[in-house]
Structure formats: C-alpha cells, structure tokens
C-alpha cells in the first residue's frame, strides 16, 4: 500500500511542498485580486440590500409633522394697541365736540359784541337826536324872549332827562340781552362738559369690552395651538413607535429568511439566485487569476490567503482548488 508521507506530514503540522515557494513577485497582483473580490462582494451586498424596501428608507426617522406657533400679539401688545386706537378715535370725537362748542361760543360772543355795538350806536343816535331837538327847542324859546326864563331852563332839563331815560333803556336792554346770551353760553359749556364726560365714559366701556374680546380670542387661539401641538407630539410618538416596531419586524423577517437560506445553502453547499451568479462570477475570476501561475505558486497564494478567499468565495473555494488541482491542504492532487 502506497502512503503519501508528504500529505501525512502536512496533517500533523509538517511543511507542504509549497512552503518553500517564493510568492513575493506575485503578492502585489494577489493583493489587487483580493481587492477585486472585495468590491465584487460589496457590490453584491449593495444590490441585495437595494432589493429590500427597508422601513427606515420608506419611513424617515421624523414624520415631519408641522407644529404651529402663535404669532399674534401678546396680551400687553393687545392692550397697548387697542388703547392707542381708541385714544386716537376718542381724541378725534373730542376735538369735534370742542370745535362745535367753540363755534357756538364764538357765535354767542360775537352776538354780544354786535349787541354792544348796536347799543352804543343807538345811544349815539339818541344823543344826536336829543341834541338837535334840544337846540331847536331852546332856540325857539330864546327867540320868544325867554332865554333867561325858567322855561328855558326847564326845557333844557327835560331834554336831558329824556336822553338819560333813552340811554338807560338802551343800556338796560343791552344788559338783559347780554345776560341772556351769557346764560346760554354757560349752559352751552355745561352741555359740552357733560357730552365730553359721557364720551369719555362711553369710550372707556367700549375700550374695556374690546380689550376683553381680543384677549379672549388670543387665549382661545393659544389653547387651540397648544392642543394641536400636543396632538401632533402624540402623533409623532405613535409614528416613531410604529416605525420602530416595523423595523424590528422587518429585521426579524429578514433574519429568518437569511437563516433559512443559509441552512439550505449549507445542505446544498451552493447558492441560489443572484447570490449564486455573484459567487460563480467570483469563482471564474479566481480560476482565471490563479490559472496564470504555476500550480505551486497558486497553491501557496491560496494557502496564504485562505481566510479572505473563503469569505469571498464561500462554498466555491473547494471548487477553485479542485479546478486548479489543489487539495484542501494546499497540496497538489497528484502527490
């Protein structure tokens, strides 16, 4: 019976016949080839990942719900703005009342001035008339030779008294007319002051009511926004929880599918679908690469890079060795 002592020596830790092969000239090409296999593996895994519609890609981490923000006036601003607006309106109406009052008051003053001028004119006319009549009468009395008599004196006194009565009547009428106008002006001032007071009170009530209404609207809007944002926050938490559950469920499904596929591959020592195509392409590339070297060189290169090749070729590594005539111990089958 023939015993291959070289293989036995390898099994028990001895050196194979490839141990002395110098692969230094080929290490650069070997490194480039392993990089090629790495990229091929990465490309396959990328395509395999793209075949899945991952939950984290479909459902973003944040749902993007819009939160509302109250951008209306503050309570202080509402009070200030409303007060300013009502103050301006009040000032306009107050000015209108004052203008009307001043117009009526000036009319009364002007009427008083006119009556005073009229009375002065009437008094002057009475004096002129009295003077003319007195002169004529006294001339007639003197012409009749009574210039030094008591008649002349009595006649002159009569005209003087008549003038005083007329002037007194004019002054009395003027005083009465002025008093009536002053009374009207006093009442006009009272009416104006009352109207101004009522206007201020009316505006104060309207201002308070308007501010209260606007403040209620502000509070209502703030409560609406707060409720909406709280609901949105709850919706966001629900969304994140649903997303987390969906991710976990999908990962469990992927794991189960991968585990089942790995079990099937382990039994068949082969792959299926796109994975099989990728590994077959890598196997063929490995055959093409190592076939260009002598068997000893290929065996040493494969033995030195066993771990990396097993990662990239998987179940097809033994096929590579078989194709190249190298057994699992890096020894040629013909030994």
Query: Would you say residue 148 lies in a domain?
Result: yes
**Are residue 191 and residue 86 in the same domain, yes or no?**
yes
pLDDT score for 258: 87
Q: ∠30-28-316 over CA atoms, to 5°? A: 5
Query: Would you say residue 205 lies in a domain?
Result: yes
Q: What is the pLDDT of residues 61-73, one digit of tens each?
A: 999 999 999 999 9
326 by DSSP, 3-state: which? strand
Query: What is the band of 17 on the pLDDT scale with cuts at 50, 70, 90?
Result: low
**Are residue 154 and residue 180 in the same domain, yes or no?**
yes
Query: Would you say residue 233 lies in a domain?
Result: no
**pTM of the full predicted structure?**
0.56
Query: Would you say residue 330 lies in a domain?
Result: no
What is the number of domains present in the chain? 2
Euclidean distance between CA atoms 229 and 29, whole angstroms: 63
**Are residue 35 and residue 115 in the same domain, yes or no?**
no
Q: What is the pLDDT of residues 197-222, one digit of tens each?
A: 999 999 999 999 999 999 999 999 99
Query: Would you say residue 229 lies in a domain?
Result: no
**Are residue 111 and residue 195 in the same domain, yes or no?**
yes
**Are residue 12 and residue 61 in the same domain, yes or no?**
yes
**Are residue 248 and residue 220 in the same domain, yes or no?**
no
pLDDT at residue 15 is higher than 80:
no
With tokens 């987390």, the residue in question is: 244
Contacting residues for 324 by C-beta, under 8 A, at least 6 apart: 287, 290, 291, 295, 298, 299, 302
Domain hosting 123: range is 75-224
Euclidean distance between CA atoms 63 and 66, whole angstroms: 9
**Are residue 204 and residue 274 in the same domain, yes or no?**
no
Q: What is the pLDDT of residues 69-87, one digit of tens each?
A: 999 999 999 999 999 999 9
Q: What is the CA radius of gyration of the chain?
A: 62
With tokens 């007071």, the residue in question is: 197
Mean pLDDT of 175-197: 94
**Are residue 215 and residue 87 in the same domain, yes or no?**
yes
Euclidean distance between CA atoms 242 and 330, whole angstroms: 53
**Boundary (domain end) residue, out of 197, 224, 251:** 224
**Are residue 89 and residue 179 in the same domain, yes or no?**
yes
Q: What is the pLDDT of residues 107-158, one digit of tens each?
A: 999 999 999 999 999 899 988 988 888 888 878 877 777 767 788 888 788 8
pLDDT score for 256: 93
Query: Would you say residue 19 lies in a domain?
Result: yes
**Are residue 217 and residue 265 in the same domain, yes or no?**
no
Query: Would you say residue 278 lies in a domain?
Result: yes
**Are residue 182 and residue 93 in the same domain, yes or no?**
yes
Euclidean distance between CA atoms 199 and 193, whole angstroms: 10
Query: Would you say residue 232 lies in a domain?
Result: no
**Are residue 271 and residue 309 in the same domain, yes or no?**
yes
């Amino acid at each position: 019976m023939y015993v291959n002592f070289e293989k036995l020596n390898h099994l028990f830790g001895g050196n194979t016949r490839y141990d002395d092969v110098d692969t230094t000239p080929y290490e650069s090409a070997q490194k480039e080839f392993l990089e090629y296999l790495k990229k091929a593996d990465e490309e396959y895994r990328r395509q395999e990942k793209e075949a899945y519609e991952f939950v984290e890609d479909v459902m973003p981490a944040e749902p993007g719900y819009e939160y509302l923000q109250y951008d209306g006036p503050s309570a202080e601003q509402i009070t200030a703005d409303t007060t300013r607006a009502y103050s301006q309106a009040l000032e306009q109406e107050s000015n209108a009342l004052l203008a009307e009052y001043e117009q009526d008051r000036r009319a009364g003053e002007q009427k008083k001035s006119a009556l005073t001028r009229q009375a002065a004119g009437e008094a002057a006319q009475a004096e002129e008339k009295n003077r003319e009549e007195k002169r004529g009468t006294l001339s007639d009395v003197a012409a009749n030779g009574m210039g030094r008599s008591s008649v002349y004196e009595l006649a002159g006194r009569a005209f003087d008294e008549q003038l005083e009565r007329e002037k007194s009547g004019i002054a009395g009428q003027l005083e009465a007319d002025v008093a009536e106008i002053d009374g009207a002006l006093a009442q006009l001032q009272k009416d104006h002051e009352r109207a101004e007071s009522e206007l201020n009170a009316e505006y104060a009530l309207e201002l308070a009511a308007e501010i209260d209404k606007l403040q209620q609207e502000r509070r209502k809007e703030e409560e609406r926004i707060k409720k909406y944002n709280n609901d949105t926050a709850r919706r966001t938490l629900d969304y994140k929880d649903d997303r987390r559950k969906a991710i976990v469920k999908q990962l469990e499904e992927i794991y189960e599918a991968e585990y089942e596929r790995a079990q099937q591959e382990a039994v068949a020592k082969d792959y299926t679908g796109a994975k099989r195509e990728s590994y077959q392409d890598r196997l063929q590339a490995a055959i093409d690469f190592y076939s260009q070297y002598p068997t000893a060189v290929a065996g040493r290169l494969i033995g030195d890079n066993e771990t990396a090749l097993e990662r990239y070729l998987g179940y097809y590594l033994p096929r590579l060795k078989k194709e190249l005539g190298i057994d699992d111990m890096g020894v040629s089958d013909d030994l």
